[in-house]
Structure formats: C-alpha cells, structure tokens
Chains A and B, each alone.
Chain A
Amino acid sequence: MSKEKFIILESTCIPLPVENVDTDQIIPARFLTATTRQGFGENLFRDWRYLKDGISVNNTFILNNPSFSGKILVTGKNFGCGSSREHAVWAIYDYGFRVVISSFFADIFMNNAINNGLLPVRIPEQNLQNLIHLVQKDPQTNVRVNLEAQTLEIPATGEIIGFEINRFKKECLINGFNDIDYLINARNKIVEYEAKKGLTA
C-alpha cells in the first residue's frame, strides 16, 4: 500500500487526556475479524463512544463533542500500549487523524503508526499538559506540525516545540516510502547473508 506523503500539517486538535490508552480501547478485539484494512474508523474507541448498551451515543466522550474536531489527537503518556494489532492505527487513520501527540508511545504502536503514515509526535510531559489545557480551553487552537523541521508550532502562543524522529523514518514519511520497498530492493544483500550463514531457504 503506498502512503500519503507527510510534510506539514496544520489543524485543530482533539484532546484525550487519558494515560496508558491501550490498543484494546482504540479498537476492541471483537472488531478484528475483518480481512482488509478499511473501515476500522467507525469502531475507533468503540466502547468509549457508546454507552453500555452499545448503541446509545456517549455524549461525554470527546469524539462526540461537536466543539472539537481536527486531524491531531493529543493524548496521555504510554499511548498505544498492549496488543500489537495494527488495526489500532488503521482505525485512528481511517477516522481522519494524521498525527498523535503524546509524551511517549508504546514501541510497537509507534512502528505501526509510521508504517501507515500516521505521525507519532513525542513531546515533554509538561509541554503536553500545557497543550491539552490550551486545547480544552479553546477548541479552535491550531497546531502546525512540521516534519521537515521536526517542530510543533502553536501560533496562538508562539510556542515552538522540537521533536525527535529517526532520520530514515522521517525520509520515508516525507517521500511516502515503505520499509517493504526498501527490503524488497535489498534482497541481494539478504541472499548474501543467508549464504554466509549457511542458512537453507
């Protein structure tokens, strides 16, 4: 699957100040029976979006609050922990998010996100708390994510926060490349390695 190129994104944000959000919350296991990557967005945060009966909309959940919209999810630390299910990333992306901001991400989630063109932006805890409060107070707060410069700019406050990303992964995101293309092109090296190690195919 070819990815959209990611360079700069400016958007309002949706705040979800919960810590340790696991992938079972992002997409519950009972929705994992599909055999394609499409359509997971409608079940994103399914059990938080709906009340216990599974049908009535939970008006207190942030995704159901019409004041908040945007392509950036701002959320508590250790986001995406638990199951390795890539369906979690597919659900977030399919719903319309392109960036998730947190103070740290679970490892597998972070790889899955980048492999699908969803940018995980890691910022210090204090900056995260400030951003969450800012967005909660004014849902119109814009955030500009510049992958090239590795910065997150908040025009309302003039704040500019830098973030780290592996250079190789950054290039992949900017150019819309996939790891898989790289690996397929590296097959000669892989075959050489197998021969050197005496591995049988």
Chain B
Amino acid sequence: MKAKTLFDKIWDDHVVYSIEDGPDILYIDQHYIHEVTSPQAFNGLEERGIPVFRPSRTLATADHNIPTKDQHLPIKDELSRLQVEKLTENCRKHNIRLFGLNHPDNGIVHVIGPELGFTKPGMTIVCGDSHTSTHGAFGTIAFGIGTSEVEMVLASQCLLQTKPMTMRITVNGDLNKGVTSKDIIMYIIAKLSSGGATGYFVEYCGNTIEKLSMEARMTICNMSIEMGARGGLIAPDNITFEYLKEHSKKVKQSDWESTVQQWKNLKSDAGVKFKREISITASEIKPMITFGTNPGMAIPVDGFIPGSGEMDDKGGDASFIKSLDYMGFKPGEQISGHTVDYVFLGSCTNGRIEDFRAFASIVKGRQKAPGITALLVPGSKKVEEQVKKEGLLKILNNAGFELRQPGCSSCLAMNEDKIPAGKYAVSTSNRNFEGRQGPGARTLLASPLTAAAAAITGKITNPVELMNN
C-alpha cells in the first residue's frame, strides 16, 4: 500500500463521495458551535424548513461575547444578550446540547471540547471559528469554517472540501529556559510569515513536540491558522491517551484498550512524502514577542525591532511602515524595557490550567506593577475551579491580581474587556491585528511567562530574569 500521511489517513476515511474534478463530500464527526457565527446558519435552515440532520454531533457553548464579571446577572449589552438568547433558543428547538452561560461546564469552545472528552483522535472536527485547529493536538483534522458552512454541517453533517496540501514541521532538541510551546509556534510563524502556510495542513513532529503536554500541544495547533494553514495536527501518543483517559467519562477498561490500539495506527507512514518539509532546532528558540500587527511580526523578547527589509515577506514596505506606526515603534529600537499598560492571560491559546500555573510561578511572592491593569480570564469553568483548588488564586490575589470568569474576553474584545486606544497590552492570545483588542489597542503577543514578567515589572521583560533556579 502507498505510504500515507496521518492527515491523508483521516481525510480519506471521511470521504463520503469524491466529485469528479471537484471537492470531496467530507463527513464531520464533531461540530462545535457558539453564539456569534451560528444564528444566521439556523435562520438558513428555517428558511428551507429543514431540521438539523444529526443533532447529537453538534455541541454548543456561549463564549465570544459574554462578560467576564457578574455572569449571574443579565448581559448588559442588548445585542450580545439577544445573541446568547438566540443560541439557547436554537439549541432547544433543534435538540442540541448546550454548555451555556452559567452551566458548570461552560467555557471557550476549544477549551471545553477536549476538557469534556468530546475531541478524540481520528475525528474530523469543525466550528465556525478559525482556532478550531486547536483540536488537531489530538490527531484530528480540525479546522475553522464560515457560517454558510456551519449551515451545511447542520443540514447534512458534511462539507464540500478540496483537500489541502500537507506540510511537516519537525522540531528537535531541548528547549531553552523560559521557552514554552507558545514561543515555539510564534517562532515558526515568524519564520514562515502570516500567509506562509496558506493552502496547507501542517503535521508537527519531532522529539521536542513529543515531550510536550496536551495543553502545550493545543497551543501549537491553535495558532496554525496564524500562518495561514487550514489546521495543524500531532499524532496521538501515550501522553494523548493518558489525557483522554482522565477526561473521558465512563469508559470500560476493555473497550478502552481496544480503542487505544486503534488510535495507535494514527500516524504518518515511514517514508511518506510531504509537499513541504521544515526542520527546526529547538535551541534556536527564545521567548518571543510580537512587535507589529500580524502574528508573523515576532522577535525574541531580547531582540530589536527590525526594519522593513530585514524580515522575509512580512508585507511590503508600505504595509510594514503602517504597522510600526500603529504600534508606535521604530526600527532598531530594543523591545525589552518598553512600558506596558495591560496584561491579558487567557483565550483558547493560553487560557488553560498550565498557563495559569506558569503565570503564577512568576508572580508568586511578588507584586503587580502599579501601572498595570491585568485581565486574568480562565478558559472554562473547570479551569476557574482548578485555579482555586490548587491554591493559585491565593498566589494571584496576594500578588495583587484578581481572577475573572471564563470567556473569550480581551482576545477579540467583543465584550467590555477592551484595551483602550494607544495602550500597550502583553497578551497570551493569538492575534495582534489592528484594533483586535479594542479600537486603537496595541497588542504584543507572548507566552504566559512573558505576560507575567510584564505584569510584575510593568515593562516588556525576558521572563528568564524572573525565573528561579
């Protein structure tokens, strides 16, 4: 048999029918929906007078526009409230399971899917959200779709898709101190540029990736879209199976073992050719931070702002200059030491328990800098609970921080968690686009460690300077 990539194996297994000279009808195992990109899809079904085809294969949560304070009260913003109510109504009408606001399992869609054991190896997963690529960490084909496609999945449990090309990114070696999986993916994006993987689906491998926890792997797959890739995936291994065992409900031991045996086949065959191969040495990676207005514009925290000619393919001169103007930076300037106004810990990229542990490890026994406003937003109710249970809340409170309630929050600033115009925010989220965190806001993407270092010093700081031993 012809050698196949993991991506090809999962894809081929889900092709219902291949249209000659056209796309494939691809079966979708798991569909996640949220309040912002689903209402128009349900309207479409109603206009056609058709039901949801397979309601048990769709799960819903409210996460994008919800407040992160006083969630027990009605949502103040009328349009946001209506949107959340519309989701509740649509789920009730179409018999879809909803983990809505105030549900004990509520949270960001890409945090709760894995956390509640719904995301499993070998699946095809879609959601009307580009960061659906997160679920690829479990060896799935997971990608973001538009609302018309949400409607298609609701109507048929399928999509018409053209198979993307495959790329393999191999990372080998030991990581430097202070370098997290966020820094790995930011380094990769900076290398490839924000459009460098367009048209591809990426498989991440190598011994650096194999050593990462599931949460760290999710951070990597999550940001695949930031270099244009449709998604990213990692072959499942014992770390994956251990995570799944802990997060799956009511599985019989015998069933479990046979399922794991099947999952073990989910890997790229030896000798298989990828359309594109990239190889990275882990020791080259330092803690990273963005300086511009797309995620490809990133440098090491101890680096200098480059000039337009110094980076490959970061946009033409005019776009590069426009970007630095927006950020208020000049070429040649040292980025560390620059004043920071806001810090945001959270999002589907870095809003999990390990991210809170990392942040707490830096702020423990220290005090938040006086000029810093911090938004610490857990990715889910479960993460929020765990932060309290492990005593992290006490560490955070003692250092002058407060904890918010779960949601997407400042990552896209649909709710009131906006960064004011002109202010600098070190953010653990995924996008530093103009106005992403509020009109005029200046976002500097970084890891939870680097965000914590900024929160303590009030400046862009290499987290290594604040790390023990």
The interface of chain A, by Cβ under 8 A from chain B, is 1, 17-20, 22, 24-25, 28-30, 32-37, 47, 52, 54, 76-78, 81-87, 89, 104-108, 111-112, 115-116, 166-169, 178-180, 182-184, 186-187, 189-190, 193-194, 197, 200-201
Residue in A82, A111, A166, A180 whose Cβ sees the most chain B Cβ within 10 Å: A180
A25–B323 Cα gap in the complex (Å)?
A: 13
Could you pull out 17 A-B pairs where Cβ atoms are within 8 angstroms?
A22-B294, A22-B433, A28-B435, A33-B79, A35-B83, A76-B315, A82-B225, A85-B36, A86-B40, A106-B195, A106-B228, A107-B164, A115-B148, A180-B44, A184-B48, A193-B17, A193-B27
- Which residue from B36, B144, B151, B156 sits with its C-beta under 8 Å from A108? B144
- Which residue from B25, B50, B435 sits with its C-beta under 8 Å from A190? B25
Q: Is B162 an interface residue (CB 8 A)?
A: yes
Chain A residues with CB below 8 A from B37, complex form: 84-86
B146 with A17: CB separation less than 8 A:
no
B157 with A115: CB separation less than 8 A:
no
Chain B residues with CB below 8 A from A167, complex form: 21-22
A26–B132 Cα gap in the complex (Å)?
A: 21
Q: Is B337 an interface residue (CB 8 A)?
A: no
A111–B23 Cα gap in the complex (Å)?
A: 12
The interface of chain B, by Cβ under 8 A from chain A, is 16-17, 19, 21-23, 25, 27, 36-37, 39-40, 43-44, 47-48, 50, 53-54, 56, 64-65, 77, 79-80, 82-83, 86, 128-130, 143-149, 151-152, 155-160, 162, 164, 194-195, 198-199, 225, 228, 230, 294, 296, 315-316, 318-319, 322, 412-414, 421, 431, 433-436, 439-440
Chain A residues with CB below 8 A from B149, complex form: 111-112, 115, 179
B156 with A201: CB separation less than 8 A:
no
B322 with A107: CB separation less than 8 A:
no
A28–B230 Cα gap in the complex (Å)?
A: 22
A186 with B16: CB separation less than 8 A:
yes
A36 with B43: CB separation less than 8 A:
yes
Q: Considering the complex of A and B, which 5 residue pairs feature the smallest CB-CB distances, nearest first?
A: A168-B22, A78-B195, A33-B79, A86-B146, A112-B146
A180–B319 Cα gap in the complex (Å)?
A: 38
Closest to A17 in B: B318
Asked, given contacts A47-B439, A180-B151, whether A34 binds B79 with beta carbons under 8 Å apart, the answer is yes
Asked, given contacts A20-B294, A37-B40, A190-B16, whether A76 binds B319 with beta carbons under 8 Å apart, the answer is yes
Closest to B80 in A: A33
A6–B329 Cα gap in the complex (Å)?
A: 45
A18 with B318: CB separation less than 8 A:
yes
A1 with B44: CB separation less than 8 A:
yes
B16 with A52: CB separation less than 8 A:
no
Closest to A22 in B: B433
Q: Told that A24-B412, A106-B198 touch, could you supply 10 new A-B pairs with CB distance under 8 A?
A: A17-B316, A18-B318, A25-B435, A29-B412, A47-B440, A76-B319, A83-B130, A84-B129, A108-B130, A115-B148
Chain A residues with CB below 8 A from B64, complex form: 29, 32
A183 with B158: CB separation less than 8 A:
yes
Chain B residues with CB below 8 A from A186, complex form: 16-17, 25, 156, 158
A54 with B439: CB separation less than 8 A:
yes
Q: Closest approach, in angstroms, between the C-beta of B308 and any C-beta of chain A? A: 12
A115–B152 Cα gap in the complex (Å)?
A: 11
A179–B153 Cα gap in the complex (Å)?
A: 11
A20–B226 Cα gap in the complex (Å)?
A: 11
- Which residue from B23, B44, B194, B434 sits with its C-beta under 8 Å from A47? B434
A86–B80 Cα gap in the complex (Å)?
A: 18
Chain A residues with CB below 8 A from B146, complex form: 84-86, 89, 108, 111-112, 115
